[in-house]
Amino acid sequence: MATARLGLTALDCSDPPALADFWAALLGGEVAHRNDEFHAVKADGAWLVAVKVEDYKPPTWPDPTVPKQMHLHLKVDDLDVAQTDAVRLGARVATEQTNPEQWRILLDPAGHPFCLATQLLD
């Protein structure tokens, strides 16, 4: 029996409302909790939380000056459609694309890299 279960993923940022709204829209979820320190998005039974950090420094990936800290991989059916939707919602396409036929690297509004992929590890 497992000792623990994954409860949520937290992303540091300077603007929790904006980051939570972005992720809720992209994932088809809802911002289910809001306060001054964090906003929590619930999507497909998982939680993604945008946490306010004073003097937040966004990742500078691929430049290692400020590490990417973490990144998410999101499974999509169509890379072009998903990328267009993500950009419309506020994401930016990363300048470095290591394998754009299999996945696309984008940056969320707080600068966290994330990948859109048609196939994950399954």
Tell me which architecture the domain covering 1-55 has in CATH. Answer: Roll (3.10)
Q: Does residue 3 register a pLDDT over 80?
A: no
pLDDT for 9-67, tens place per residue? 999 999 999 999 999 999 999 999 999 999 999 999 899 999 999 999 999 988 999 98
pLDDT for 76-120, tens place per residue? 999 999 999 999 999 999 999 988 999 999 999 999 999 999 987
CA distances from 44 to 11, 15, 30, 54, 85 (A): 18, 23, 10, 30, 19
Ranges of each domain in the chain: 1-55, 57-122
Tell me whether the CATH fold assigned to 1-55 matches the one assigned to 57-122. yes
What pTM was computed for the model? 0.87
pLDDT for 5-16, tens place per residue? 778 899 999 999
Q: Which CATH class is domain 57-122?
A: alpha beta
